[in-house]
Amino acid sequence: MTRSAAVTIFYFSNCIKRVRSKETTAAPERRIYWVESMQSTAAIVTMVRDDHFFLKAWLRHYGPIFGRENLYIVNHGRGRGVEELAEGCNIIGIPGDPHKNFDMKRWRLLNNLVMGLRSYYNHVIVGDVDELVVIDPEEGKTLLEYLEEQPIRRVLTPLGLEVIHRIDEEPEAITDKILGPRRHVRLAPHYSKPCVISAGTKIARGGHYTQYGKLFTPDCLYLMHLKFCDFPEYTAAMDRRNAVTDEIGDDVKEISIGRHWFAEARGEDRATFEAFADLEMVEGFDMRLYRRKMQRSFGPRGDTGFYNFARPDYKLQFKLPERFSGIF
């Protein structure tokens, strides 16, 4: 572990907020609702600012599998709602003042936190709050059980799938689980991210590349991106993100944040979702071809020190097999 990573984890170990609910007769609904998991196989790391819908899904997915005490949440802006939802997790509060170079600073923080946590866990999963690493239920084991069997000192890259809301076919609102009401996914190489880390490596801004020189793409792992999983939630989230960039008041290059955060790159929301119906529907759910294409194109990303693979814009959609329904 580098000195900077060691300093980072020492600092955060002293400022992480561990919240625990208390059993009281006055408020029985506040009783502890998770089971502590004394495991050191994997930690999960994310950063969030007010995206409560996605945070709820993130917590529902990872909490029961890994134990909330192994979830690390950077609370950008120290939102009270995030603290309440993430009760029992390790919450790291940071200022939410608008500033330039947002994404660069964010991934500098996440990089050092991941590398520090690697001293205590075999694997660290890191990503945005609307990204979930999922194991195919056909595997017959949990994600934790799968990682317990995996060797360390490598980086795993799940295949990226974007969960899409087919508003022409899926009228049901999401009240709890997302998969079930939503069954369609778009093949998304942009979200095939090297996000399961057990090696000493640097992660590029956005989490799309690392400096690890081998590509491991397990057949059973997927990274599901939830940005487009629900039309009403999408419009609300984009309104919040547009407000952030408006408050900073500069262009995409100066702010150093994803172009999709800007109002001028947003487009018309309903048209975006209606266009999902035009994607070619592929029968079945065999992703081996796309993983092979990732392997064949893998190599250095110029002279940056990072590695990548080709990320073609597949205009393809699939219907998830029934076995995925209800997993988050």
**Predicted confidence (pLDDT) per residue in 14-65, tens digit:** 444 444 433 333 333 333 445 566 899 999 999 999 999 999 999 999 999 9
- H-helix segments, the chain: 3-15, 52-66, 80-85, 102-117, 143-148, 231-248, 252-255, 269-274, 288-297
Question: What's residue 8's pLDDT?
Answer: 42
| Bridging pattern class, strands 316-319 and 280-281 | parallel
Largest Cα–Cα distance of the chain, in whole Å?
Answer: 62
Q: For 303-316, give one letter per residue: b (16+ CB within 10 A) or e.
A: eeebbbbebeeeee
Query: Which of 220, 183, 184, 213 is closest to 199 using CA atoms?
Result: 213
Query: 255 is written with which tokens?
Result: 């702010």
This prediction has a pTM of: 0.84
| pLDDT tens profile 214-256 | 999 999 999 999 999 999 999 998 888 777 665 655 554 554 4
19 in helix, strand or coil?
coil
Question: What's residue 19's pLDDT?
Answer: 40
Question: What do you get for the CA distance between the two ends of the chain, in Å?
Answer: 34
> What mean pLDDT is predicted for residues 65-74?
98
Query: 256 is written with which tokens?
Result: 């150093």
